[in-house]
Amino acid sequence: MSDRWTESISEYLDGGLEAAQRRLFEAHVAECAECAAAVEDLRLITSRAHGLPTEAPEADLWPGIETRIRSLGTAARAVPAARRGGLTAIRFSFSLPQLAAACLALVVLSGGAVWYALRQGPPRGLFADRSMSRAAPASLNAPDHVAIRDVEELGRVLAAGREKLDPATVRSLEESLLIIDVAIRQAKRALDADPNNPYVRAHLDDTMRRKVEFLRRATMLASAPQ
Amino acid sequence: MNEESPWGPGVTAPTTLENAVPPASERADVSRAQNGDTRAFERLYRTHAARIFSLARRMIGVDLAGELTQDVFVRAWEKLRTFRGESAFGTWLHRVAINVILHRRGVLNVERGRLDDDEGALDQVAARRGSSELGMDLEGAIGKLPSGARVVFVLHDVEGFKHEEIADLLGVTAGTTKAQLHRARMILRQHLCR
């Protein structure tokens, strides 16, 4: 069995070979037991794959879905509320791509700073920040809750207003948010590995704040009159 | 106005779904759900959850399948007004599901650098001889395929999409999907039929 024939097996089974190629292939398979076995094996696999049964999830997922779709209704009402707050009067001094680029650059730079700091070890001497003691005070966790609540609320408002935005802008927003989310997850993983590290904690808080700020700006854009 | 196609023009429904004829009660539930009836939408969920869950499990893995199934139905609820009934609801939902799942796969790719392409992972799946157990083994083996080969195998051999459609969905050429499919089948053969 040569690579030449092996590579043709799938095309043959899927009916993708030209008539002349097909005849050549079939003539080879008639004489090559190895290729004939491979054809039969792949035929069996494709046939079984097509008939694989569906399987219901073990847990009932509907309650979670229902909660989420009901919250979408709340978000739809939240957009006019944002407008009433006078957000539409604000003029932006940056375009969205500029804002996204700046935000991402800050996330990357601060991530790099944390990486550098981690390589240097814990703070010492004159440059040690007393507010960042090894045992992180409980108050440091407070911004997490605020940020999470803000992110959820802003995410709902943005979801409700996304249809007013250009699809390319929405895609750009989603890609930027994705990168910020990845940075947040990485920071959380780093914090899990080293829970008392003040640099990682500060980086996580900072990245979450940047996400909130980014969402706020994007929400204002979505709420702006067309 | 044409019904919005979540995966763009030129991509048709997989053959396995085109033949499905939805009952009148389902069409009525779709209409009610479009008007905000969550009980009707729940009935649609009950009808289609297993298919969507199985698709998610095969394409991404069991760990995320439940969460992704929820995401699919939430997304479907958001986009329900764009459904014009020109195809079966199940076909439309399937398209939404694949987009949601591929989007999540993209997120995972970013998070992990690239998804691992470790063919050796298949060795962790217990192989059995005999075709009667091939179905069970096949599920486990699909889950251990390298990511690119796995998605193409599921979309082509399990879901019935054509190469051109898969290529459009993944943003690659049909030649690439053909190569990935053949690779997937040969890896599965090596594992299941040895």
- Helical residues (DSSP H) of B89-153, grouped into ranges: 89-111, 134-143, 147-153
Q: Is the pLDDT of residue B4 over 80?
A: no
B145, B153 contact by CB (below 8 A): yes
> For chain B, what is the mean pLDDT?
82
Nearest to A216 by CA among A161, A171, A134: A161
A25, A17 contact by CB (below 8 A): yes
Residue in B74, B77, B134 nearest the CB of A48: B134
Q: Name chain A contacts of B131, Cβ cutoff 8 Å.
A: 44
A186, B118 contact by CB (below 8 A): no
Residue in A41, A61, A179 nearest the CB of B49: A61
Residues A71, A33: one domain? no
Residues B111, B153: one domain? no
Lookup result for tokens 């539930």: B29
Percent with pLDDT over 70 in chain B? 74
Cα separation values, B124 from A147, A200, B36, Å: 41, 36, 47
B77 to chain A, any CB pair closer than 8 A? The answer is yes
User: In this structure, what token pair is assigned to residue B117?
Assistant: 């392409």
Residue in A11, A42, A62 nearest the CB of B45: A62
Residues B36, B106: one domain? yes
How confident is the model at residue A33, as a pLDDT? 92
Classify residue B46: in a domain, yes or no: yes
What gap in Å lies between CA B26 and CA B162, rounded to an integer?
28
Domain end residue (candidates: B53, B87, B115): B115
Domain end residue (candidates: B115, B137, B168): B115
Would you place residue B15 in the very low, low, confident or very high pLDDT band (cuts 50, 70, 90)?
very low
CB contact under 8 Å between A57 and B160, yes or no, is: no
Nearest CA in chain A to B41: A66
User: In this structure, what token pair is assigned to residue A19?
Assistant: 């008539």
Residue in B38, B46, B157 nearest the CB of A69: B38
Residues A17, A100: one domain? no
B121 to chain A, any CB pair closer than 8 A? The answer is no
From the CA of A128, how many Å to the nearest CA of chain B?
32
Classify residue B7: in a domain, yes or no: no
Residue-wise pLDDT tens digits, A113-170: 555 555 555 444 333 333 333 333 333 344 455 556 666 666 766 676 666 666 667 7
Number of inter-chain CB pairs under 8 A, A vs B: 111
Q: What is the mean pLDDT of residues A99-104?
A: 60
Q: What is the CATH number of the domain that holds B156?
A: 1.10.10.10
Sign of the Cα torsion B186, B187, B191, B194 reads: positive
A115, A197 contact by CB (below 8 A): no
Residues B126, B55: one domain? no
Q: Residue B151 is which amino acid?
A: V
B152, A4 contact by CB (below 8 A): no
B16, B161 contact by CB (below 8 A): no
Q: Name chain A contacts of B188, Cβ cutoff 8 Å.
A: 45
Instruction: Burial-class residue A104 by CB neighbours within 10 Å (0-12, 13-18, 19+).
Output: middle
Q: What is the CATH number of the domain that holds B73?
A: 1.10.1740.10
Residues B130, B98: one domain? no
Residue-wise pLDDT tens digits, B43-85: 999 999 999 999 999 999 999 999 999 999 999 999 999 999 8
CB contact under 8 Å between B66 and A10, yes or no, is: no
Residues B45, B63: one domain? yes
Q: Name chain B contacts of A178, Cβ cutoff 8 Å.
A: 106-107, 110
What gap in Å lies between CA A49 and CA B160, rounded to an integer?
10
Q: Name chain A contacts of B157, Cβ cutoff 8 Å.
A: 45-46, 49-50
Classify residue A209: in a domain, yes or no: yes
Classify residue A147: in a domain, yes or no: yes
Domain end residue (candidates: B71, B100, B115): B115
A219: containing domain: 62-223
CB contact under 8 Å between A41 and B41, yes or no, is: no
Residues B123, B77: one domain? no
Residues B128, B184: one domain? yes
B162 to chain A, any CB pair closer than 8 A? The answer is no
Q: Name chain B contacts of A16, Cβ cutoff 8 Å.
A: 178
Q: For B93, list phi and psi in degrees, rounded to 5.
A: -65, -40
Tell me, what DSSP letter sits at residue A90?
P
Q: Name chain A contacts of B74, Cβ cutoff 8 Å.
A: 65, 68-69, 72
User: In this structure, what token pair is assigned to residue B169?
Assistant: 């969905």
Residues A109, A212: one domain? yes
The total of structural domains in chain A comes to: 2
Classify residue A56: in a domain, yes or no: no
Residues B83, B157: one domain? no
B83, A154 contact by CB (below 8 A): no
User: In this structure, what token pair is assigned to residue A47?
Assistant: 């046939």
Classify residue B13: in a domain, yes or no: no
B127: containing domain: 117-194
Classify residue B10: in a domain, yes or no: no
Nearest CA in chain A to B142: A49
Sign of the Cα torsion A109, A111, A116, A121 reads: positive
Classify residue A55: in a domain, yes or no: no
SS3 B113: coil
User: In this structure, what token pair is assigned to residue B24?
Assistant: 């009148």
Residues A106, A188: one domain? yes
Q: Percentage helix, strand, coil, to 5, in chain B?
A: 70, 0, 30
What gap in Å lies between CA A68 and CA B14, rounded to an integer?
29
Most confident range, picked from A50-59, A108-117, B107-116: A50-59
CB contact under 8 Å between A62 and B66, yes or no, is: no
What gap in Å lies between CA A217 and CA A213, rounded to an integer?
6
The total of structural domains in chain B comes to: 2
CB contact under 8 Å between B45 and A65, yes or no, is: yes
